[in-house]
Amino acid sequence: MTVLITGGAGFIGSNLARHINRVSPETEVRIFDDLSTGRMSNLEGVRAQFVEGTLSDPAAVDAAVDGVTAIAHLGALGSVPRSVDNPVGSHSANLTGTLNLLEAARSRDAYVTFASSSSVYGANTALPKSEFDWTRPMSPYAVTKLGAEAYVLAYTHSYGLPTLAFRFFNVYGPYQPADHAYAAVIPRFVDAALSGQPAVVHGDGQQSRDFTHVDSVCQTLWSAIDRRLNLPDPVNLAFGTRTTLLELLDVIEDVVGGPIAREHVGSRAGDVRASQSDGVRLREYFPDVAPTPLKEGIESTVDWFRRTAEA
């Protein structure tokens, strides 16, 4: 079997490549990435064929898909704030890019798993979230993820293409960088803690998230690919935890062994107040995948940051 990982030089993609190398060494891994946000350094020690290209180029996508059995479609321009700054770029990479990929996969009957996002729920304040709750995106990023997810499911209904759309909830862990303007909250907080800088908290810090460690995400993605699990509806990839940003800082303080100063600034446009999955469908279809406790996940993340700083 040959598995294509779009965005494979990124945070989740590089972790997935390592996971497949470890649990299924006979599986060939091909990585497709334009390196706009991914990094070749993430692939050190990974056994994979690397193909540089962009999802907005149909010919490049078609060539990358040729000969593959399954696709983990993780390539995207992430970040709500980035999409607010550049909605056209997000649309091109996330929505048009997904359509290009689906067309290439359709001609080869390649299985597709897709990384959608919990941001699609947007203005829906009900907690916890079920996949059958109504959606109301609040940012261009969320719109692109909901539209791309709809395309993925439509290709199953219209063409019989085997797919599974996951809605990711605040994935974190090793290889998630902090050194760019759109960094996620956990690497930003960890980097601040280790460098002795104040952690910048947007708003009052009471906004909550269902943080999901990347190891659990990779186990789930590989299980779906290995079984070629085809479902007509999306699956929330989170286990039903609810942690505020201030509680998260407390956990990081415990792990690093010292206090972290907090600097509160204004809220960000497009951010949702609270996010939490009910975890029902994930446990139904992936009963063997266990959640990583937050403190344990933060420990692995802090260890990676420290090793990277020493390298």
Output the domain CATH number for residue 50. 3.40.50.720
pLDDT of residue 199: 87
Asked whether residue 178 is assigned to any structural domain, the reply reads: no
User: How high is the pLDDT of residue 236?
Assistant: 97
Residue 67 lies in a domain: yes
Q: What is the mean pLDDT of residues 178-188?
A: 76
How far apart (Å, rounded) are the C-alpha atoms in residues 86 and 213? 28
Residues 232, 100: Cα–Cα separation, whole Å: 20
Query: Is residue 163 assigned to a domain?
Result: yes
* Per-residue confidence (pLDDT) for residue 183, from 0 to 100: 66
Give the CATH number of the domain where residue 272 resides: 3.90.25.10
Is the pLDDT reported for residue 268 higher than 80? no
Q: Which amino acid is at 69?
A: T
Closest CA to 128 of 186, 207, 210, 206: 210
Same domain, 36 and 54: yes
pLDDT band at 181 (very low <50, low <70, confident <90, very high): low
Q: Give me the number of domains the chain comprises.
A: 2
pLDDT band at 180 (very low <50, low <70, confident <90, very high): low
Q: What percent of the chain has pLDDT over 70?
A: 97
Provide the 3-class DSSP secondary structure of residue 176: coil
Please report how the helices 245-256 and 185-195 are oriented relative to each other, as an axis angle in degrees rounded to 10: 40
Using CA atoms, how far residue 172 sits from 56, 92, 143, 187, 217, in Å, is 27, 25, 22, 8, 10
pLDDT at 23 over 90: yes
233-258 mean pLDDT:
94
Average pLDDT over residues 116-143: 93
Please report the pLDDT score of residue 184 as a whole number.
82
Mean pLDDT along residues 206-235: 96
pLDDT band at 84 (very low <50, low <70, confident <90, very high): confident
49: β partners:
30
List residues bridging with 30 in a β-sheet: 4, 49
Tokens describing residue 58: 């149909």
Please check whether residue 144 lies inside any domain of the structure.
yes
Of 220-224, 266-270, 274-278, 281-285, the poorest mean pLDDT is in 266-270
Instruction: Determine, yes or no, domain membership for 105.
Output: yes
Tell me what pLDDT residue 80 has. Answer: 77
At 113, the amino acid letter reads: T
97 and 17 in a common domain: yes
Poorest-confidence range of 44-58, 159-173, 258-272?
258-272
**pLDDT tens-digit map of 61-77:** 999 999 999 999 999 87
Do 259 and 224 fall within a single domain? no
**Same-domain pairing of 60 and 139:** yes
The predicted structure's pLDDT at residue 294: 95
Q: What is the pLDDT of residue 219?
A: 97
Domain co-membership, 151 together with 192: no
Asked if residue 85 has pLDDT above 60, the reply is yes
Q: Judge if 97 and 135 occupy the same domain.
A: yes
Residue 180 domain-assigned? no
Coil, strand or helix at 29: strand
Does the structure show a pLDDT above 80 at 309? no
Encoded tokens for 237: 């990839």
Same domain? For 155 and 19 the reply is yes
* 21 and 9 in a common domain: yes
Q: Mean of the pLDDT values across residues 267-294?
A: 89
Using left for φ > 0, alpha for ψ between -120 and 50, and beta otherwise, residue 247 falls in alpha
pLDDT band at 129 (very low <50, low <70, confident <90, very high): very high
Q: Are residues 232 and 133 in the same domain?
A: yes
Question: Across the chain, what does the average pLDDT equal?
Answer: 93
| Angstrom distance (rounded) from CA 263 to CA 311 | 29
Q: Are residues 109 and 201 in the same domain?
A: no
Name the token pair of 43: 């692939």
Range of the structural domain that residue 17 is part of: 2-172+212-239+281-285
Work out the pLDDT band at 215, boundaries 50, 70, 90: very high
Q: Which pLDDT does position 177 carry in this prediction?
A: 84
Kindly state the percentage of the chain with pLDDT values over 90.
Answer: 76
State whether 64 and 104 are in the same domain: yes
Shared domain check, 161 and 33: yes
Tell me, yes or no, whether 179 lies in a domain.
Answer: no
Q: Per-residue pLDDT for 270 more than 70?
A: no
Q: What is the mean pLDDT of residues 158-184?
A: 88
Is 49 inside any structural domain? yes
Q: For residues 96 and 178, which has the higher predicted lDDT (pLDDT)?
A: 96
